[in-house]
Amino acid sequence: MYTLGIDIGSASSKVVIIDSTKTIVADAVFPGGAGTSGPVKVLAEIFLKSGLGWEDIARTVATGYGRIGFHQANNQISEITCHALGVHHLFPSVRTIIDIGGQDVKAIAISKEGMISKFVMNDKCAAGTGRFLEVMSRVLETDVSELGALAGQADAIVDISSTCAVFAESEVISRLASGIKPANVAAGIHQSVARRVAGLAIRVGVTPMVVLTGGVAKNEGIVNAFASELRQEIVVSPSCQITGALGAALIAMKELINLRAQEASA
């Protein structure tokens, strides 16, 4: 008995298949989210990887920005709920979740029992998101996956003071033009993102354990800068980008078990 969770984000599509013991059977990530061929491609990849097909999937839940347009799902659930559930499954003692995706940032406070007690979200401005880091990595002529390593070579942190992504880009260009080392500029970019995200986290209250999720959690420069802004240990799972999809698969399994129980008692 398998269920599938799909998280269709703004930047990427993520999918997880679990079995009835809630163990991950397979997962896949494809760069391309809502409005792209990402969902179709990520599903082709997971079915190839797992040797499973739609006929093996008993229930599907979709989450993320593009969930409403995904008609193969039996249910659509908000990404706040799915992220919280996915992270709580991996780290039962999590109390604070920060998810940095392609175009938004969420801070979620979880009770000891694993219930969402508060959340705040920035989806109005690119600053502090993965998109901001992608734009900056282009200016620095590096791939976004290399940006953290570049910042790691810094011997000083250049202050990036603009709070708007567009102005920050101009500020970065002028810093580079004035001869400042790209590594030092990269460190400043990471600090600027970490500062904004820390501001959001403080609004929900920062209680350990703090877990960082989303594609941006793969950037060790952000993890380090965020830890030093919050003066707090930050935990990152190797599955950081798929926690929303995992939460969706877990909800699908719970719904399936409830449906089967209802059928059995009818």
Interface with ligand ADP (CB under 6 A): 9-12, 33, 64, 101-103, 130-131, 133-134, 144-145, 214-216, 218-219, 241
Q: Which is nearer to ligand ADP, 141 or 263 (CB)?
A: 141
Could you tell me the smallest distance in angstroms from the CB atom of residue 185 to ligand ADP? 17
Q: Which is nearer to ligand ADP, 50 or 142 (CB)?
A: 142
Give which of 130, 129, 184, 195 is closest to 175, Cα–Cα: 184
* Torsion sign over Cα 62, 86, 31, 34: positive
Could you tell me the smallest distance in angstroms from the CB atom of residue 37 to ligand ADP? 14
Report yes or no: 80 and 115 within 8 Å, Cβ to Cβ: no
Could you tell me the smallest distance in angstroms from the CB atom of residue 182 to ligand ADP? 17
Q: Which is nearer to ligand ADP, 185 or 256 (CB)?
A: 185
Could you tell me the smallest distance in angstroms from the CB atom of residue 106 to ligand ADP? 10
* Angle in degrees, CA 124, 126, 130, rounded to 5: 125
> Residue 5 and residue 101: Cα distance in Å, rounded?
17
Report yes or no: 62 and 74 within 8 Å, Cβ to Cβ: no
Q: Which is nearer to ligand ADP, 133 or 256 (CB)?
A: 133
Report yes or no: 111 and 75 within 8 Å, Cβ to Cβ: no
Could you tell me the smallest distance in angstroms from the CB atom of residue 50 to ligand ADP? 21
Q: Which two tokens stand for residue 259?
A: 């449906």
Q: Which is nearer to ligand ADP, 102 or 252 (CB)?
A: 102
Q: Which two tokens stand for residue 21?
A: 């013991």
Distance of CA 153 to CAs 50, 57, 171, 246, Å?
A: 39, 46, 20, 35
Report yes or no: 183 and 147 within 8 Å, Cβ to Cβ: no
Q: Which is nearer to ligand ADP, 96 or 219 (CB)?
A: 219
Could you tell me the smallest distance in angstroms from the CB atom of residue 79 to ligand ADP? 8
> Residue 57 and residue 80: Cα distance in Å, rounded?
24
> Residue 160 and residue 177: Cα distance in Å, rounded?
14
